[in-house]
Amino acid sequence: MKFRGNIGAALLLVLAAGLAYVVFLRAGAPPLTSEAAVTPPVSAAELPSSSPSPPLTPSPSLTLSPTLSPAPTPTPSPTPELPAVDLTAWNLALVNSDHPLDKDFSPDVITVENSQKYDARAADALKTFIAAARDKGFSVYLSSGYRTYATQEYLFNRKVSQMEANGLQGDAAITAAARIVAYPGASEHQLGLAADITDKYYEIMDVSLADTPLLQWMKAHCAEYGFILRYPEGKQDITGVMFEPWHFRYVGTDAAAYIMEHGLCLEEFWALYEE
């Protein structure tokens, strides 16, 4: 009996230990199920979402898109963009003392008027520009168009002689002359795309011409015909040429509109594409 009693006690202990173990497992179970419980809702949400979400998602996106689309539309319009032009194109050629033309460079030119020649590709634009000014009642005189290298050389040497007569010597005379008459090869007139336009009654070309109604109109409207004021006021340090209110240069309407609107010289326009 005592032996049986011992067995019974041992069985009770085993049962008690088993119960305790089960209790322990159940106590430890919750953290496991709680983690496992996270997964089922996700998979459960994914599964039912296929059926209820299609009718829900398209309806708000359809109602939102018409109200959202007008908003992004104004954004591109106020962004001023550089015109997509090719700087290597004939009409955008940059000619100055740093970018001189070859002595033998000679474009295909035709006579416009007053024995003045102009690049054949832009001659019509120049004629239209001048005709528009005449239609406004202005007297227009095309004083200079295309010039050969030899002509520019003659004009330059004559200006150097004048400077020497005024007391300047050597390099000083050459530097002073170059601010008024472009160095041979550095003149846009050799390019065939420069036009000096004045009132026919003016003989002296100086900055006072800028105040004449003709040149004020020409400056205001040149871009419409593809022209720019090539040597604007205040740009002498960049162009190397003094303010010339009479000197217009053909570049094409796209470039001209941007240049005149932003008050640039051609050197500054070029620099925008080199950035």
**151 binds Zn ion per the rule CB under 5 A:** no
User: Would you say 235 or 247 has its CB closer to Zn ion?
Assistant: 247
Instruction: Give me the catalytic one of 153, 203, 224, 244.
Output: 244
> By C-beta, is 106 or 164 nearer to Zn ion?
106
Q: Which stretch binds Zn ion (CB under 5 A): 1-9, 89-97, 189-197, 252-260?
A: 189-197
Among residues 164 and 196, whose Cβ is nearest to Zn ion?
196
Count Cβ neighbours within 10 Å for each residue of 34-62 and write b for 16 or more, e otherwise.
eeeeeeeeeeeeeeeeeeeeeeeeeeeee
Closest CB to Zn ion among residues 7, 99 = 99
Choices 71-79, 190-198, 211-219, 248-256; region in contact with Zn ion by CB under 5 A: 190-198
Minimum CB–partner distance for residue 148 and Zn ion (Å): 14
> Candidates 178-186, 188-196, 213-221, 256-264 — which segment interacts with Zn ion by CB under 5 A?
188-196
Least distance (Å) from Zn ion to the CB of residue 246?
A: 7
Q: CB nearest Zn ion: which residue?
A: 247
Site for Zn ion in 202-261 (CB under 5 A): 247
Name the minimum Å distance from CB 144 to Zn ion.
Answer: 6
Task: Tell me if residue 233 is catalytic.
Answer: no
Q: Is 153 in the site for Zn ion (CB under 5 A)?
A: no
Assess 196 for contact with Zn ion (CB under 5 A).
Answer: yes
**Least separation, in Å, of the C-beta of 194 and Zn ion?**
5
Compute how many residues bind Zn ion; rule: CB under 5 A: 2
Nearer to Zn ion, 7 or 158 (CB): 158
Contact 126, 218 (CB under 8 A): no
Residue 198: CB minimum distance to Zn ion, A = 10
Write out the DSSP string of the chain: -HHHHHHHHHHHHHHHHHHHHHHHHHHHHHHHHHHHHHHHHHHHHHHHHTTTHHHHTHHHHHHHHHHHTTTTTTTTTTS-------TTSGGG---BTTBPPPTT----EEEEETTEEEETTTHHHHHHHHHHHHHTT---EEEE----HHHHHHHHHHHHHHHHHTT--HHHHHHHHHTTSPPTT--HHHHT-EEEEE-TT--S-SGGGGGSHHHHHHHHHGGGGTEEESS-TT-HHHHSS---TTEEEE--HHHHHHHHHHT--HHHHHHHHH-
Q: Where does this chain bind Zn ion (CB under 5 A)? A: 196, 247
Query: Which residues belong to the active site?
Result: 244
